């Protein structure tokens, strides 16, 4: 079933297949809710027919989702859609440890121990949360580009091992990394994961697994019955301490292995500092059986004569009588002591807190007092060997008898931790790593045009150094270019004032305002903007606006002396009487912005000396005067002053 191109869970768009395992197919997907790439692991069809398995699978996956650690691949979501059952996880860029071993063969011991420390740290957190992986192998460990180990598939193996699925007929997990108890189908716990981690270290340092055979069953039997060849014999560069760590982790008896991931971590970290040290304690059984001789002819070996003596009846009776006599004598002695009132001496309890352990021992020896010593790290930084506490506590006039044991707590000094590498991580990843290492942090943000925003540029002190627990590490986080990016608003059609406010509110500046005339648009309206709307630019980028500017219509006064314009002369009839002036039609036309309009048209007597006409227009206009349809005068009139007067005579 290929899901590429499909949207599942109404949010995860499947982009491409990136992996294929025995149980599931892994896809790269895009989460449309949080707008990020994720990995989606989809169970294969043969696993979806068992309701009990699906139920357990969901429970285990949800439990694993609660784990938060820099070395554990985060689980974001668990869901189903029809017959599709899936887990959404962090998408990690890198190679599996198996791919690295295949490509590089034998790996350097320091690099191997560093990776083992990260895996053990992940297991430590999981085991504290009662989650056992049960399938630790190089295939389930991803190494990122900056060298961080990420363990994946927590909880899935348990779901499979507890299910009733039998149809697929294959062993879940890789038998090459199984613990003996896992191989025989017995009870598996945290120590099984530590065995598998030992096998992974073995393979990293030798280039091969400790047990191999033609069939999975044969490999499983070897895990249960055979002792692996010491890794140091296959790779002489392996330090003695690392060799012992692997051997201890791979003990067939779980009781002989490390008791916890925390205990194994202590040895792994010490191995980095003291590779050839003799600090790895190999556990032993409580009762070491003596060597027995096994006869090949079917007969039992003859018993030792000294041993056979104790099987005679009279000897047994004699021993019983002797024991009874001793018990009776002891009881009589104790009764005598009680009756005579004698008992242990009582002494004043000494004040030991603040003394050096040697001084404290001296005082206790003088008083014939016994003591027990427990070492603890001192949060206050008390020097090594200083007595931090005593039990019973010191009190004036408080006596104890000589048989009591004084319990002393002695300082181991300041607990030191190794500084993890956080440079190159995101700020959030760096904080997780430092908190996991019991370190505090101080964040300083810096502008850096070469490193992406939110990434740690450097750290002080450097990674790998040892420092007191709860010390503060300075991390310097990139602000990127340090310039905020903003989106350009659309201001065309707005007034100049509205456009200015929108540009400034968006975090931009007005560089220039230019003016153009467009008679088809309202006066004062923005016609153009120098940067297109919706474009993302740096904050305070200058923007140029082009605004429509129409000249204001002004009014002037036209005075026409019609009598003078027509050169009118009085006329008389034959009798000497004045002939009245005739009426004529006076028309005034004004040309403004290429458009000619008649603004005045009336009849007047030819001898009219003053006709007043109001002229409106923009800038300089052309005034034409017609009398009975004949143009008599044409003049230019500048109206820009608003008080222009044109006299025509």
Q: What is the secondary structure of 223-281 as a DSSP string? A: HHHPPPPPHHHH-TTS-HHHHHHHHHHT-SSGGGS-SSHHHHHHHHHHHHH-TT-S-PP
Instruction: Give me the pLDDT at residue 202, please.
Output: 97
Closest CA to 611 of 542, 564, 550, 552: 564
Mean pLDDT for the stretch of residues 365-376? 86
Distance CA 369, CA 273 (A): 39
Structural domains of the chain ordered from first start: 7-89 (3.30.200.20), 95-273 (1.10.510.10), 346-411 (3.30.10.20), 416-478 (3.30.10.20), 485-548 (3.30.10.20), 554-648 (2.60.40)
Instruction: Give me the pLDDT at residue 446, please.
Output: 85
Q: Is the peptide bond before 206 cis (omega within 30 degrees of 0)?
A: no
Give yes or no for residue 475 having a pLDDT over 80: yes
Distance CA 609, CA 572 (A): 20
Give yes or no for residue 154 having a pLDDT over 80: no
Give yes or no for residue 161 having a pLDDT over 60: no
Contacts of 581-584 with C-beta under 8 Å, sequence gap 24+, read 581/605, 581/606, 581/607, 582/606, 584/627, 584/628
Instruction: Answer with the residue of higher pLDDT: 228 or 330.
Output: 228
Distance separating the N- and C-terminal Cα atoms of the chain: 101
Q: Strands 7-8, 12-20: parallel, antiparallel or unpaired by DSSP?
A: antiparallel
CB 133 within 8 A of CB 157: yes
Mean pLDDT for the stretch of residues 569-575? 88
Residues sharing a CB contact under 8 Å with residue 141, sequence separation 6 or more, in sequence order: 96, 97, 98, 115, 119, 149, 150, 151, 152, 200
Mean pLDDT for the stretch of residues 16-32? 87
Lowest mean pLDDT among 235-249, 334-348, 369-383, 414-428: 334-348
Give yes or no for residue 313 having a pLDDT over 70: no
Q: What percent of the chain has pLDDT over 70?
A: 87
Instruction: Give me the pLDDT at residue 319, please.
Output: 62
CB 108 within 8 A of CB 206: no
147-166 exposure pattern, b = at least 16 Cβ within 10 A, e = fewer: ebbbbbbbbbbbbbbebeee
Give yes or no for residue 106 having a pLDDT over 80: yes
Give yes or no for residue 358 having a pLDDT over 50: yes
Lowest mean pLDDT among 198-202, 270-274, 291-295, 444-448: 291-295
Q: Strands 440-446, 399-401: parallel, antiparallel or unpaired by DSSP?
A: unpaired
Residues 35, 36, 38, 40, Cα dihedral to 10°: 10
pLDDT confidence band for 600 (50 / 70 / 90): very high
Instruction: Give me the pLDDT at residue 335, please.
Output: 45
Mean pLDDT for the stretch of residues 168-179? 64
Give yes or no for residue 147 having a pLDDT over 70: yes
pLDDT tens per residue across span 35-68: 899 999 888 887 777 777 777 677 767 777 778 8
Instruction: Give me the pLDDT at residue 291, please.
Output: 42
For residue 474, what are its two tokens? Answer: 């300075």
Instruction: Give me the pLDDT at residue 491, please.
Output: 94
Does 135 participate in catalysis according to the annotation? yes
Q: What percent of the chain has pLDDT over 90?
A: 50
Mean pLDDT for the stretch of residues 9-28? 88
Distance CA 110, CA 42 (A): 36
pLDDT tens per residue across span 521-558: 888 999 999 999 999 998 899 999 999 988 778 899 99
Residues sharing a CB contact under 8 Å with residue 76, sequence separation 6 or more, in sequence order: 31, 38, 65, 88, 89, 90
Give yes or no for residue 146 having a pLDDT over 90: no
Instruction: Give me the pLDDT at residue 306, please.
Output: 42
Instruction: Give me the pLDDT at residue 167, please.
Output: 31
Instruction: Answer with the residue of higher pLDDT: 303 or 378.
Output: 378
pLDDT tens per residue across span 316-356: 556 666 655 554 555 455 444 444 444 457 888 889 998 99
pLDDT tens per residue across span 621-632: 999 999 999 999
**Strand-pair partners of 37:** 30
Burial class for 233, CB neighbours closer than 10 Å (0-12, 13-18, 19+): exposed
Q: Which residue among the candidates 135, 153, 193, 267 is catalytic per the annotation?
A: 135
Q: List C-alpha distances in Å: 289 to 284, 377, 572.
A: 11, 39, 166
What mean pLDDT value characterizes the chain? Answer: 84
Instruction: Give me the pLDDT at residue 574, please.
Output: 86
Distance CA 477, CA 455 (A): 6
To which H or E segment does residue 120 belong? Answer: helix 109-128
Lowest mean pLDDT among 65-79, 229-243, 270-284, 556-570: 65-79
CB count in 10 Å sphere of residue 314? 7
Instruction: Give me the pLDDT at residue 173, please.
Output: 47
Mean pLDDT for the stretch of residues 512-518? 90
Distance CA 57, CA 505 (A): 53
**Cα 184 from chain centroid?**
39
pLDDT tens per residue across span 269-306: 999 999 999 999 998 754 344 444 433 343 444 444 44
Instruction: Give me the pLDDT at residue 293, please.
Output: 41
Lowest mean pLDDT among 170-184, 263-277, 556-570, 592-606: 170-184
């Amino acid at each position: 079933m290929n899901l590429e191109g499909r949207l599942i869970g109404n949010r995860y768009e499947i982009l491409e297949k990136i992996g294929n395992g025995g149980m599931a197919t892994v896809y790269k997907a895009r989460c449309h809710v949080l707008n990020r790439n994720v990995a989606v692991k989809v169970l294969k069809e043969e696993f979806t027919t068992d309701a009990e398995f699906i139920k357990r699978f969901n429970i285990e996956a949800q439990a694993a989702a609660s784990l938060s650690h820099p070395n554990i691949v985060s689980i974001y979501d668990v869901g189903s859609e029809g017959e599709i059952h899936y887990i959404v996880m962090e998408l990690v860029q890198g190679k599996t440890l198996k791919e690295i071993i295949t490509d590089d063969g034998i790996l350097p011991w320091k690099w191997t121990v560093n990776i083992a420390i990260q895996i053990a740290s992940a297991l430590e957190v999981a085991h504290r949360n009662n989650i056992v992986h049960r399938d630790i192998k190089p295939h389930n460990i991803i190494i990122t580009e900056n060298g961080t180990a990420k363990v994946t598939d927590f909880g899935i193996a348990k779901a499979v091992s507890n299910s009733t699925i039998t149809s697929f007929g294959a062993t879940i997990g890789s038998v090459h990394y199984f613990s003996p108890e896992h191989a025989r189908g017995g009870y598996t716990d945290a120590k099984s994961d530590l065995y598998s981690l030992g096998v992974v270290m073995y393979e990293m340092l030798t280039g091969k697994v400790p047990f191999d055979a033609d069939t999975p069953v044969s490999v499983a039997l070897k895990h249960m019955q055979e002792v692996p060849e010491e890794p140091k014999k296959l790779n002489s560069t392996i330090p003695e301490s690392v060799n012992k760590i692997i051997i201890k982790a791979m003990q067939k008896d779980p009781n002989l292995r490390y008791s916890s991931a925390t205990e194994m971590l202590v040895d792994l970290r010490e191995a980095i500092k003291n590779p050839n040290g003799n600090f790895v304690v190999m556990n032993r059984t409580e009762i070491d059986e003596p060597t027995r001789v096994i006869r090949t002819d079917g007969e039992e070996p003859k018993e030792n004569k000294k041993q056979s003596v104790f099987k005679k009846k009279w000897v047994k009776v004699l021993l019983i009588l002797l024991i009874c006599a001793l018990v009776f004598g002891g009881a009589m002695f104790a009764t005598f002591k009680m009756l005579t009132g004698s008992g242990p001496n009582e002494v004043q309890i000494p004040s030991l807190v603040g003394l050096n352990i040697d001084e404290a021992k001296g005082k206790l020896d003088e008083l014939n007092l016994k003591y027990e010593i427990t070492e603890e790290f001192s949060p206050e930084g008390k020097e090594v060997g200083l007595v931090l506490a005593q039990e019973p506590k010191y009190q004036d006039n408080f006596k104890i008898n000589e048989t009591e044991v004084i319990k002393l707590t002695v300082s181991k000094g300041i607990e030191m931790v190794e500084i993890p590498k956080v440079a190159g991580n995101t700020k959030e990843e760096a904080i997780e790593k430092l908190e996991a290492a019991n370190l505090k942090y101080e964040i300083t943000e810096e502008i850096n045009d070469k490193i992406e925003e939110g990434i740690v540029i450097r750290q002080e002190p450097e990674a790998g150094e040892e420092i007191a627990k709860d010390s503060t590490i300075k991390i310097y986080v990139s602000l990127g270019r340090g310039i905020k990016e903003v989106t350009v608003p659309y201001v065309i059609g707005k007034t100049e004032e509205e456009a200015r406010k929108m540009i400034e509110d968006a975090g931009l500046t007005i560089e220039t305002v230019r003016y153009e005339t467009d008679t088809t648009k309202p006066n004062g309206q923005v016609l153009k903007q120098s940067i297109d709307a919706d474009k993302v630019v740096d904050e305070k980028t200058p923007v140029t606006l082009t605004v429509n500017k129409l000249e204001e219509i002004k009014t002037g006064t036209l005075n026409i002396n019609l009598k003078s314009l027509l050169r009118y002369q009085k006329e008389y009839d034959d009798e000497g009487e004045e002939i009245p002036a005739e009426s004529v039609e006076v028309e005034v036309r004004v040309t403004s912005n290429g458009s000619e309009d008649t603004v005045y048209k009336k009849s007047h007597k030819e001898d009219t000396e003053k006709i007043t006409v109001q002229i409106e227009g923009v800038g300089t206009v052309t005034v034409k005067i017609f009398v009975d349809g004949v143009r008599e005068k044409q003049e230019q009139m500048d109206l820009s002053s608003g008080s222009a007067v044109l006299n025509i005579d």
